[in-house]
Amino acid sequence: MNVPLYILTFAHLILAAAGAAAAAAAAERVSLERQLLEEGIRSGRRTCRLYCRVGIGFHLQIHPDGRVNGSHEPNQLSVLELFAVSQGVIGIKGVYSNRFLAMNKRGRLHATEWFTEDCKFRERFQENSYNTYASVIHRNHRTGREWFVALNKRGKAKMGSSPRVKSQHVSTHFLPRVGLHDKTERGFTITDRSKERRKTPLPPPPPAAAKSAPPKASVHTGTAPRRTQVKYWPKYRFG
């Protein structure tokens, strides 16, 4: 079946237009993210993504319907804005969802349209260059243990009231990533040669045991052996 030439030309034009539109949309998204980053730097607010290294690694994202979870691939919902409320206390807002991250009195994470006391989190810097975010007003009042923002190994939000959610656990560690348009994951592996097993040489065979001489036969005489009596005199006398 012969296809007319004008139909093929029209199909090629449609495909070229679709590719150009997709490239323009991607360029516009990258430029918008860069503009948000520059505006955040000028206004004192941080526009970034919060990367949690639990499991395969997830970016915290806030949905317009109020859901909070993690996504392995960075997207528009994972672009967050961190702004200071007071010393050590910040608020987290989704740029595209236009909602604030919050934690209710049961320790469940959700997103709200209005900024309330539930949206205040205490930011702490850990020794491994990661940050933790704990609720300011909600905690275990009996033990005083803080409730942290955390993700599980499947990317779902964990309950902050869970006893397993602690500041030492990897699920509560987040790394702010400023490069919004960089999707590639870079890493390296360090191999320690000193820990490699070395082949130990086989020990030399033990020398042949020398033949022990036969025990001498004891000769018994009729007389009993003499006992020598030894007397010890003190070297110094007192009195």
Q: What is the pLDDT of residues 115-151, one digit of tens each?
A: 999 999 999 999 888 999 999 999 998 898 999 999 9
Write out residues in the chain with pLDDT < 50, as ranges: 1, 30, 32, 36, 40-41, 182-188, 236-239
Residue 78: closest CA among 186, 163, 155 = 155
Element (H, E) at 137: strand 131-139
Look-up of token digits 């190994």:
153
Mean pLDDT score across all residues of the chain? 77
Which CATH number do you get for residue 107? 2.80.10.50
Task: Tell me, yes or no, whether 51 lies in a domain.
Answer: yes
CA distance 174 to 49: 9
Q: Which of 160, 167, 117 is nearest to 140 (CA)?
A: 160
Identify whether 143 is part of a domain. yes
Which residue type does 139 have? R
Which uninterrupted H or E stretch holds 110? strand 109-112
Tokens of 57: 């690694």
pTM for the model: 0.59
> By residue range, what is the domain housing residue 54?
45-177
